[in-house]
Amino acid sequence: MAHYAQSKVYESTNEGSKFSLLGCEALKTAQMQQQSQQAPPPHSTSTPPPAPPSSTGGSAAEAPPKQVALAMDKLGEAERIIADIRIGADRVLEALFVAASQPRHGTKPLQLFLKEDACMRRYLQDLRSLGKELEESGVLSESVRSRKDFWGLHMPLVCPDGAMVAYAWKRQLAGQAGASAVDRTRLALKAFTDQKRRFFPHLDYGLETNESASKKRCGSVESTVDPKEESSILKMLPDVLNYPSSNKLRLGSLGTVATEKVAVIEMLVPSTFRVVISLHPAGSTDPDAVAFFAPEESGSYVHARGFSVHHVFRHITDYAATALQYFLGNQVESSLYCLLHWICSYQTLFSRPCSKCSRLLAADKQSAFLLPPVLRPYWQFSLSKILSTISSKDHTSDITPAYHVGCFSEEL
């Protein structure tokens, strides 16, 4: 049974995040293009715009919710036009290829190429005019942000790094504890991968998605780690921790946009458990809280301070709090690293029998419920010990003992 560790970010249900980064970049390119050229007056767009004919003055006359809705519609249109452009580009290349490979077939390939060329020009023109409309309604620039009307609504905002939010204030909230775990996790993972890519390009251990990056930009980043690579990724962490020369790495202090810092880490061991760790302060490597859940559990209580409905995971969460305090106290520099390794030892939760009584299930003293061995000693996990285990190239054997709650206290 291969064990895979997966860190997964949920696709936000926020409408705004369904737009691909690529699309937003193309939109900005269109905006820049129209600024650099003397743009001819826009042709009528191929799809009738939902806004009233006078796009400049008309938007101000509508109620803000309608403005927001219109803006969202236009962004949707923009996305469709961008998709058409991408397909059109393929077709143009195909036409060129046909023309080049069959020079004797007369003018037919040439006609094809001209047709595709005309289509592309039309799409780009549509996109330019749409971009102009959006810019006027304040979606692409931050100028409207400060203009808050009495509805408290803002126009949908395309942020400098390409992410899109339906309401600008949501970005602010997302950095704070009040935001939903979905938003925080999504932004956290995005910020982390962006900055990792920027500042540690040599550390590309295959944490990137398996498919081409352009396909998976819709706000959901998924990475699968196979067992051989898992140790190499965990090897990466000491590098991260020791960069540059100080022993503590603060991702936020590397001088980039400070609104996104890694705040939540979620790890899934398929069919076994899901663990949520929160970091505090955001951007540091100090774990703050940790909680275990069943893989299928979902709901607003699935966060680093929540409790699972299952007794086994409640016990582990309680115990993990103790382990966390130990790591924070004794392994100050590498507490997150040790914590993650200790959590990994729970992969065998439902298969490894207790090291004392050799059974898998034992009755809990208080509740009399049957539980698997939920305790795994944490004081054996120190940075030096973990590194020596990894370097000894023995990944398959996990020798961490496991105990039932009852068996353990007798052991002491």
Applying CB under 8 A, the residues found at the interface with another protein are: 1, 270-272, 294-296, 310-313, 350-351, 359-361, 363-364, 367-372
Residue number with CB closer to another protein (117 or 364)? 364
Dihedral over Cα of 69, 124, 126, 100: its sign: negative
Nearest Cα neighbor of 20 from 214, 189, 150, 207 is 214
Least separation in angstroms between CB 377 and another protein: 22
SS3 265: strand
CA distance 182 to 175: 12
CA distance 304 to 5: 18
Least separation in angstroms between CB 362 and another protein: 9
Least separation in angstroms between CB 342 and another protein: 20
Q: Could you tell me if 313 and 273 are in contact, meaning their C-beta atoms sit under 8 angstroms apart?
A: yes
CB-count burial class (<10 Å; 0-12, 13-18, 19+) for 99: middle
Least separation in angstroms between CB 2 and another protein: 12
Structure tokens at 162: 């390409």
Residue number with CB closer to another protein (129 or 400)? 400
Structure tokens at 376: 């795994």
Least separation in angstroms between CB 373 and another protein: 11
Structure tokens at 236: 């990466």
Least separation in angstroms between CB 360 and another protein: 5
- What DSSP assignment string belongs to 188-250? HHHHHHHHHHHH-GGG-SS-S-SS-GGGG-SS--EEEE-HHHHHHHHHHHHHHHT-SSSS---
Helix 383-391 × helix 227-241 angle, to 10°: 140
Residue number with CB closer to another protein (46 or 224)? 224
Separate counts of helices (H) and strands (E) for the chain: 11, 9
Residue number with CB closer to another protein (200 or 301)? 301
Nearest Cα neighbor of 183 from 282, 257, 251 is 282
Residue number with CB closer to another protein (174 or 371)? 371
Residue number with CB closer to another protein (267 or 390)? 267
Least separation in angstroms between CB 13 and another protein: 24
Least separation in angstroms between CB 348 and another protein: 10
Least separation in angstroms between CB 11 and another protein: 21
Rounded to 5°, the CA angle 35-37-43 comes to 90
Residue number with CB closer to another protein (1 or 100)? 1
Residue number with CB closer to another protein (253 or 271)? 271
Residue number with CB closer to another protein (257 or 309)? 309
Nearest Cα neighbor of 16 from 142, 150, 162 is 162
